[in-house]
Amino acid sequence: MSLPTLLVTHSDFARHPTPPGHPESPGRITATLPRLRACLPKTIRWLEPEIGTSDLLRSVHAESYIERIEKLSRDGLVLLDEGDTFAGLHSYETALLAIGAAATAIDRVASGEAANAFALVRPPGHHARPAAAMGFCLFNTVAAAARYAQKKYGYRRILIVDWDLHHGNGTQEIFEEDPSVFFLSLHEYPLYPGTGRASERGKGEGEGFTLNLPMKAGSGDAEYGAVFREQVVPAADAFRPDFVLVSAGFDAHREDPLGNLMLSERGFAEMTMRIREVAERHCRGKLVSVLEGGYNLDALARCIDAHLCALEAKESPPAGAGLRLR
Ligand SMILES: [Zn+2]
């Protein structure tokens, strides 16, 4: 029997507070989980995360910064460093639970209990810098996940594919001098946070292990498909990853309020398949994907459904046939 695809999530991800009207709202959890319960195939296995440890945080963040977020999470809502990023009651525990969800997903995939997994978490993480919150992100979940996979399981080469609308500047900064983590990002450019030019390719020993693929406003499934074929898949194959992580933001969807990209659910499913095939070619399919952005609640649920169905699909659809998406 083939191994299941996991959905690692918890209703407690709604506990991190943001002010009314903020796009990164608890509704991203409270509205999405019931919809997924209703529409996802029953073969997708739901799993609750274990809480992350402060050791995981310390693998990518400064001690003083971790303490600061912990302290702020005992009081009311405060605006942090940059880009509409808030912390308040329960923010620390919620961000730690997000890292725990990624670690739980890696455990199940590494041990061979699951084929692959998606961690549906908030707050997002890819803008978080070693000692600063940024762009709705407190702790860098995918970066901590990469370090965890390396330390606990000895995977040497970790590929992180980030297709969130925005450039994952925090993840890039954490790994830019590290040739063991290949950070590959597609994002609208120019747009917040202003980084992610094609000329940013890593530094020192890490030179060549950062690949930025800026996308013009208006780009959609066709443009992403071409960039995947011509650049993403060849670069990922050349790296020969031991484990694949995806920073899966869905704010590049055409209905999302924050950007100007035009991807459809089908486009996200296609990208998922292409990256899954990379994982199958190099590391027996070992792939863990982590939610980043996605702010139209209706589109978010449809995109996650499409992403999970593509992670689970037993074989690639014939060219042009596409997946049957509800
Ligand atoms: Zn984003």
Cα(164) to centroid(ligand 1), Å: 5
Distances (CA, A) of 37 to 183, 185, 254, 304: 32, 30, 24, 12
- The per-residue pLDDT for 192 is 96
Number of structural domains in the chain:
1
| Rounded distance from Cα 290 to ligand 1 centre (Å) | 13
In a domain, 82, yes or no: yes
- Give the number of C-alpha atoms closer than 13 A to the C-alpha of residue 269, restricted to the C-beta side: 22
Residue 17 falls inside a structural domain = yes
Q: How confident is the model at residue 322 (pLDDT cuts 50, 70, 90)?
A: very low
Which residues, other chains included, contact 134 with Cβ-Cβ below 8 Å and sequence gap of 6+?
81, 82, 83, 85, 127, 128, 169, 170, 193
Whether residue 88 is predicted with pLDDT greater than 50 in this model: the reply is: yes
- Please check whether residue 323 lies inside any domain of the structure: no
Give domain status of residue 10, yes or no: yes
Asked if the structure places residue 251 within a domain, the reply is yes
What percentage of the chain exceeds 90 in pLDDT?
91
Residue 325 has pLDDT above 60, yes or no: no
Q: How far is the CA of 308 from the centre of ligand 1 (A)?
A: 19
Q: How many A from CA of 162 to the centre of ligand 1? A: 10
For residue 318, report the distance from its CA to the centre of ligand 1, in Å: 31
Instruction: Read off the pLDDT of each residue in 35-62 and give the average, rounded to a whole number.
Output: 96
| Residue-number span of the structural domain to which 57 is assigned | 5-312
Residues 248-307: pLDDT tens digits?
A: 999 999 999 999 999 999 999 999 999 999 999 999 999 999 999 999 999 999 999 999
Nearest to 95 by CA among 47, 150, 136, 147: 136
Residue 81 Cα to ligand 1 midpoint, Å, equals 17
Banded pLDDT at 316 (limits 50, 70, 90): low
Task: Look at residue 320 and tell me if it is in a domain.
Answer: no
Asked if residue 75 belongs to a domain, the reply is: yes
pLDDT at 321 (0 to 100): 41
Task: Tell me the CA–centroid distance for residue 292 and ligand 1, in Å.
Answer: 6
Residues 209-223, mean pLDDT to the nearest whole number: 98
> Per residue in 120-164, pLDDT tens?
999 999 999 999 999 999 999 999 999 999 999 999 999 999 999
* Pick from 40, 102, 36: nearest CA to 247: 102
- The answer, yes or no, to whether residue 227 has pLDDT greater than 80, is yes
**Distance in Å, CA 284 to ligand 1 centroid:** 29
Question: What integer pLDDT is reported at residue 199 of this predicted model?
Answer: 98
CATH of the domain at 20: 3.40.800.20
pLDDT of 326 above 60: no
β-strand pairing of 78-79 with 86-87: antiparallel
How far apart, in whole angstroms, are the C-alpha atoms of residue 137 and residue 80? Answer: 10
Q: Is residue 232 part of a domain?
A: yes
Lowest mean pLDDT across 70-79, 181-190, 299-308: 70-79
d(CA 325, CA 309): 8
Determine the average pLDDT of the residues in 102-128: 98
Give me the active site residues, please: 127
pLDDT bucket at 76, cuts 50 / 70 / 90: confident
Surrounding residues of ion ligand 1, Cβ less than 5 A: 164-166, 249, 251, 293
Q: What was the pLDDT predicted at 1?
A: 64
Ligand 1 centroid to Cα of residue 93, in Å, is 22
Residues 42-63 have a mean pLDDT of 96
CA 49 to mean position of chain CA atoms? 16
* Mean pLDDT, rounded, for 53-64: 96
The two most distant CA atoms of the chain are separated, in Å, by 54
75 pLDDT band, cuts 50/70/90, is confident
pLDDT mean over 99-119: 98
Crossing angle of helices 32-39 and 297-312, in 10° steps, is 40
Measured in Å, residue 293 CA sits from the centre of ligand 1 at: 4
